[in-house]
């Protein structure tokens, strides 16, 4: 049976020799998988690119007409990247509307705990649970045209109108807040202000930030594009190998 999580290390697909004397712009596609991930050769360094797209799926399967990211696919791949000595870094590319909180936090915690160089790039949107995912890398980038939505916790399905439900919401929000503030430069008070803002979204609470605003608030490190993120990863790899 084909193991899509570990194709990069199977004997049938050995790691090709790194090109000698390649330029910084020399990016070679070494392996592409069905889940949208790819391993590339950037100036002799193998970098694994992982995508978080659509909606982050939780413990319940979403409709087939929805673009989803499945945590049961992403988690083993992150472990593979961390344990594969040939892969030197991880590039996380996001265009997500959000999704399941616990699944998103599980992925974010794994990335934040990696010892290898990591960088994230927000394209289109890094909304809702996409915010913790965006800041989970050691260096985060966002393109100017992207946006990020920060809002309170939401729950689908039957909701009991009891005080314990609000307590549960507060605990879930605290988990998200603690992670974002620990992995970015935004202060807890300011993050809560953005989350509970009432004069920006119609029939909802929260804030929509542009790329430059996300950097100004301290959530994302820099406004940049793909080449910026790859260059930073190579710098991290070079520093780690010294």
Which residue numbers are catalytic?
Answer: 128, 151
Nearest to 133 by CA among 70, 89, 87, 179: 179
- Tell me the backbone φ, ψ of residue 56, rounded to 5 degrees: -75, 115
Do 89 and 117 contact (CB within 8 A), yes or no? yes
Nearest to 94 by CA among 66, 38, 55: 55
Do 134 and 219 contact (CB within 8 A), yes or no? yes
Helix (H) or strand (E) run with residue 95 in it: strand 87-99
């Amino acid at each position: 049976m084909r193991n899509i999580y570990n194709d990069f290390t199977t004997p049938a697909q050995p790691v090709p020799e790194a090109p000698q004397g390649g330029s910084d712009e020399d990016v070679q596609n070494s392996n592409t998988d069905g889940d949208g991930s790819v391993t590339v050769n950037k100036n002799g360094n193998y970098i694994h690119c992982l995508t978080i797209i659509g909606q982050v799926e939780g413990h319940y399967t979403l409709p087939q007409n929805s673009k989803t990211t499945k945590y049961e696919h992403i988690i083993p791949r992150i472990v593979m990247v961390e344990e594969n000595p040939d892969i030197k870094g991880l590039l996380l590319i996001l265009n997500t509307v959000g999704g399941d909180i616990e699944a998103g936090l599980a992925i974010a915690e794994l990335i934040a705990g990696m010892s290898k160089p990591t960088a994230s790039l927000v394209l289109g949107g890094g909304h809702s649970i996409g915010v913790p995912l965006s800041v989970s890398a050691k260096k985060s980038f966002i393109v100017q045209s992207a946006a990020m939505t920060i809002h309170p916790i939401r729950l689908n399905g039957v909701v009991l109108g009891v005080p314990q439900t609000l307590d549960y919401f507060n605990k879930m929000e605290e988990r998200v807040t603690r992670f974002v503030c620990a992995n970015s430069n935004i202060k807890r008070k300011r993050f809560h202000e953005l989350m509970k803002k009432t004069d920006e979204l119609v029939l909802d609470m929260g804030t929509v930030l542009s790329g430059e605003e996300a950097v100004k608030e301290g959530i994302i490190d820099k406004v940049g594009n793909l080449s910026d993120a790859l260059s930073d990863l190579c710098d991290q790899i070079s520093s780690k190998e010294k």
